[in-house]
């Protein structure tokens, strides 16, 4: 059962607020909270005590609405460098508001904004992402049509006033995280059409060897005749990987094809390579083997048998778009080439796969000349 006691303090009449104070929720006092009682009969509260917030979230819109029109508190989503103010609206305040609903406003400081895209670009892309999600209960809002810095965010509408707030909050935060990820991915991708930008999500225990393997991609490109720089950094709890061609004449499609080969190579089990004195071949082979050994070691320590190099592929949003039109070969009883003379599936060997590193490099070199 919910019980909210309000410790009211009368203050000078400012025309709108008649009383202020703080809250006690089920005997838990939030001395730092702010309670506002308006002359039109509505009221609201801003909370700071986590215990009080958790206590309120155990109840429904209806239960809290019996005491408060709305209440607000601030959350921090992991690995995002800004805060979000959540306003849970339990009772309808005016004809323009909808209850029950949750308003998530991004607390961003324009003076401290250090992203490669502007605050306005971020807000516009956020609005487009929300529309793309095609969720009628999720809408972009902006407090001031002229100035985005005056506040913007996402408004979530709900139908069932008996829903428990903790459940609703969890769904809301998951949706916010998804929208933010898609928004930043689109913004990074659109920054420069002459750069390949892609995101990876690596489990912490294998992040270091995976990042080391990505860094070597610049050398791999040089070995097949393409000069490019690579850049790798952490962005919103994901690893952002960029490839910047030094020569604009180098086709991005060629680099994407090379990246496809490079990322797929470590995913094969039972690698067999021919003896070769080519330093480039030996170096690439050594890097693949090092990555696989590091993953094996990490998985042994954590007993995670299923954590494999697929993290390099399946967690990558943009690369999946690159590869989505690539048809996978059908399995047959006979030996079948995946890349003729380079990668083949052997009859009766199950996962048996042979990879000719030297031939891959030779073919890539010929294709890019």
Judge whether residue 327 has pLDDT over 50. no
Closest CA to 30 of 52, 46, 45: 52
Structure tokens at 248: 């604009």
Rounded-to-integer distance, Cα 133 and Cα 117, Å = 22
Tabulate helix, strand, coil % of the chain (nearest 5).
40, 25, 35
Q: In whole angstroms, what is the distance from residue 290 CA to residue 305 CA? A: 18
Closest CA to 234 of 200, 271, 274, 193: 200
Tens of pLDDT, residue by residue over 261-320, are 888 887 765 555 554 556 677 777 788 888 888 877 777 665 544 544 555 544 454 455
3-state secondary structure 203-219: CHHHHHHHHHHHHCHHH
Measured between alpha carbons, how far is residue 199 from residues 50, 85, 146, 238 in Å? Answer: 34, 27, 33, 6
Look at residue 38 in the predicted model and tell me its pLDDT: 84
> Could you tell me which residues come within 8 angstroms of residue 255 by beta carbon, excluding any fewer than 6 positions away?
196, 221, 226, 228, 243, 245
Q: Are 93 and 82 in contact (CB under 8 A)?
A: no
Least trusted range by pLDDT, from 156-160, 191-195, 339-343: 339-343
Peptide bond preceding 100: is omega within 30 degrees of 0, i.e. cis? Answer: yes
Q: What is the mean pLDDT of residues 187-203?
A: 79
How much is the average pLDDT of 62-69?
A: 95
CA-closest candidate to residue 345, choices 356, 332, 358: 332
Taking only the tens place, the pLDDT of each residue in 27-38 is 999 999 999 888
Handedness of CA 263, 323, 321, 137 (dihedral sign): negative
pLDDT at residue number 129: 94
CA distance 62 to 114: 42
């Amino acid at each position: 059962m919910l019980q909210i006691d309000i410790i009211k303090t009368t203050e000078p009449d400012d025309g709108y607020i008649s009383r202020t104070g703080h809250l006690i929720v089920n005997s838990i006092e939030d001395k730092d909270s702010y309670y506002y009682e308006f002359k039109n009969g509505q009221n609201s509260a801003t909370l700071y005590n986590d215990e009080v917030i958790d206590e309120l979230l155990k109840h429904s819109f209806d239960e809290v609405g019996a005491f408060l029109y709305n209440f607000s508190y601030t959350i921090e989503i992991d690995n995002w460098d800004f805060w979000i103010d959540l306003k849970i609206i339990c009772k309808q305040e005016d004809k323009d508001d909808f209850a029950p609903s949750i308003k998530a406003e991004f607390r961003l400081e324009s003076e401290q904004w250090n992203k490669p895209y502007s605050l306005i670009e971020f807000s516009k892309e956020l609005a487009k992402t929300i529309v793309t999600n095609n969720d009628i209960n999720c809408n972009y809002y902006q407090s001031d049509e002229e100035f985005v810095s005056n506040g913007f965010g996402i408004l979530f509408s709900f139908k069932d006033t008996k829903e428990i707030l903790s459940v609703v909050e969890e769904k809301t935060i998951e949706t916010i995280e998804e929208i933010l990820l898609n928004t930043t991915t689109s913004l990074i991708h659109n920054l420069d059409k002459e750069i390949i930008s892609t995101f990876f999500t690596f489990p912490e225990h294998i992040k270091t060897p995976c990042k080391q393997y990505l860094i070597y991609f610049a050398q791999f490109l040089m070995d097949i005749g393409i000069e490019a720089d690579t850049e790798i950094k952490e962005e919103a709890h994901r690893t952002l990987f960029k490839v910047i061609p030094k020569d604009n004449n180098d086709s991005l499609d060629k680099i994407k094809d090379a990246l496809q080969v490079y990322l797929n190579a470590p995913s094969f089990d039972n690698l067999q390579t021919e003896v070769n004195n080519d330093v480039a071949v030996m170096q690439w082979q050594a890097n693949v083997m090092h990555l696989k050994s590091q993953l094996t070691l990490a998985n042994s320590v954590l007993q995670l048998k299923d954590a494999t190099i697929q993290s390099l592929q399946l967690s990558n949003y943009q690369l999946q778009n690159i590869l989505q039109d690539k048809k996978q070969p059908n399995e047959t009883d006979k030996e079948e080439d995946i890349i003729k003379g380079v990668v083949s599936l052997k009859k009766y060997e199950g996962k048996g796969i042979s990879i000719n590193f030297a031939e891959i490099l030779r073919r890539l070199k010929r294709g890019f000349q």
